[in-house]
Structure 1
Amino acid sequence: MKYLLAMYMNPEVWESLSEQDKDDVMTGHGEFIRRIRESGEMISTQALDAPAKSAVVRVKNGMPAITDGPFVESKEFLAGYYLVECASQERAYEVAAMIPDAKIDGLGIEVRPVVFFADSETESEFAGG
């Protein structure tokens, strides 16, 4: 089954880390990617820019309305993700625990099963059938 391993950033937590701790997290991602590629569980990964660089698109009266944002009342934001394929949810938890961010107090990895998957190279796939 496929799982989204979502990494959330809290800028206050990140800024409180030493430069060495920040470097350890960043280089740790390279090692993590190597390990899950070798295991065959890696599908893809993306890192996202800060919310200040994003916009929200809504269609009103048939026309797109674009606003800066999102501006949510939260300290955390989605910073990136790994899409993996694991034999079980327990294995997905094990894989998530290998992500360097999981070791930082105040950060964490959300593990969410994927119920629909489609990309430009494969047929659409619904979980469970």
Structure 2
Amino acid sequence: MLLIYGNEEAFSAVGAEALAEIIRETDAFNQELFESGELIGAYGMADQVNSKMVRVSGGTPAVTDGPYAEAKEYLGSVWIVDCDGPDRALEIAARNPSARHWGVEVRPIMHEADVGP
């Protein structure tokens, strides 16, 4: 899983033209990865303001705004890739246009086949 974090200040700091170019490059890169079969999905996070947190205590769910951890950045988008291992995931992350501006976090995720009954 590739995670891209940022905030409005970071995203706007690159300028409107550069941001439009990053989006064009990202769309082209997404298409390349879809065609290779490595990109399962790429999802931008919608409206951060309306994020909710659900916690269950004593069997009763409580819904609050958030999560709002003390952070300067928020999760902007998530990519799910299916590739030949950690080295390839790092290569893909390095080619992501966001890596030149905000960085791309790479995290392995478990597949249901990875966990036993």
Q: TM-score, normalised by structure 1?
A: 0.81
Match of 2:79 among 82, 91, 95: 82
Q: 1:110 aligns with which of 101, 105, 111?
A: 105
Look up the equivalent residue of 2:114 and give its one-letter code.
F
**5+ long unaligned stretches in structure 1:** 118-123
Structure 2 unaligned runs (5+)?
A: none
Aligned to 2:91, the other structure's residue is in SS state helix
Q: How far apart, CA to CA, are the structure 2 residues paired with 1:27 and 1:50?
A: 21
Give the 5 Å matches for 1:14-93: 14-93=11-90
Give the Cα–Cα distance (whole angstroms) in 2 for the partners of residues 72 and 88 of structure 1. 31
Which ranges of 4 or more aligned residues in structure 1 deviate by more than 4 Å? none
Deviates more, 1:24-33 or 1:43-52: 43-52
The residue type paired with residue 72 of structure 2 is: K
Distance 1:78 1:72, change over 3 A: same
Let me know the Cα RMSD of the aligned residues. Answer: 1.5
Larger helix fraction of residues: 2
Seq. identity, %: 34
- Structure 1: distance between partners of 2:86 and 2:37: 16
- Cα deviation, 1:81-121, whole Å, max 9, x if unaligned, reads 111111132211111112111111xx11011112x22xxxx
Are residue 101 (structure 1) and residue 89 (structure 2) matched?
A: no
- Give the number of the structure whose residues are more often strand, by fraction: 1
